């Protein structure tokens, strides 16, 4: 049974990845389309979603070492970082703080549950880091995944257009801005503009994870 669920997930991912290569639109992000395929197969074969939780458990085990590996793009592009270290650090920290500040304001305006409030606070970082932060703050896994994925897609769809509208054309600036807020989904999208954009976005994603952890830690 586990094998069946694993195969469904893997095959869905491979098809989704191929589709994104053909049509690289943020709405067709492999994680999203892959998830849809998995759900369609599970419901049409009348399989149980509760049983599918075992795959989540396995993925959770692999997520730790995979997240650690996010240091690799940072290491690889250390000369790019060295050339723009001040701008990147300030851009990332300012961007993450601004998004967090806006979330804080909206949380104070509306009477959200702890789950939703936490999901809004951690939404700008990549899924595994957001999940860890959610566990530390006491939130809800599904709500966090929902806000994180939405942030990624919305950032990838509107981010580049908004940056252009405000005359931000520097490749590293664009990558940094997208990566620090729209994490992996944004990175997969902005890399189509160029290698420099993609590299700085991957670096920003990792650094933004550290920044958000520090900011939330201080607040807590």
Is the CB of 170 or the CB of 193 nearer to other proteins? 170
Q: How many Å apart are CA 200 and CA 95, to the nearest integer? A: 14
Nearest approach, Cβ of residue 203 and other proteins (Å): 10
Is the CB of 27 or the CB of 158 nearer to other proteins? 158
Q: How many Å apart are CA 155 and CA 27, to the nearest integer? A: 11
Return the residue matching tokens 């300012």: 94
Give the residue ranges of DSSP H helices in the chain: 2-22, 30-44, 49-68, 71-76, 78-83, 85-109, 114-121, 127-137, 141-165, 171-190, 195-219
Is the CB of 80 or the CB of 95 nearer to other proteins? 95
Nearest approach, Cβ of residue 59 and other proteins (Å): 4
Q: How many Å apart are CA 64 and CA 187, to the nearest integer? A: 20
Nearest approach, Cβ of residue 86 and other proteins (Å): 6
Nearest approach, Cβ of residue 178 and other proteins (Å): 6
């Amino acid at each position: 049974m586990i094998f069946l669920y694993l195969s469904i997930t893997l095959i869905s991912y491979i098809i989704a990845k191929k589709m994104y290569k053909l049509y690289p639109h943020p709405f067709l992000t492999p994680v999203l389309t892959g998830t849809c395929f998995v759900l369609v197969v599970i419901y049409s074969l009348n399989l149980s979603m509760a049983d599918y939780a075992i795959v989540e458990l396995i993925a959770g085990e692999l997520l730790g070492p995979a997240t650690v590996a996010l240091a690799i793009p940072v290491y690889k592009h250390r000369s790019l970082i060295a050339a723009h270290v001040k701008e990147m650090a300030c851009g990332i920290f300012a961007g993450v703080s601004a998004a967090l500040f806006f979330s804080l304001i909206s949380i104070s305006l509306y009477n959200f549950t702890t789950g939703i409030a936490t999901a809004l606070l951690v939404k700008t970082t990549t899924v595994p880091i957001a999940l860890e932060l959610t566990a530390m703050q006491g939130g809800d896994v599904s709500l966090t995944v929902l806000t994180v994925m939405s942030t990624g897609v919305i950032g990838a769809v509107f981010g580049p257009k908004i940056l252009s509208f405000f005359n931000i054309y520097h490749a590293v600036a664009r990558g940094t801005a997208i990566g620090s807020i729209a994490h992996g989904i944004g990175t997969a999208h902005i890399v189509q503009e160029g290698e420099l954009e993609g590299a700085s976005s991957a670096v920003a994603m990792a650094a933004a994870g550290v920044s958000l952890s520090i900011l939330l830690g201080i607040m807590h």
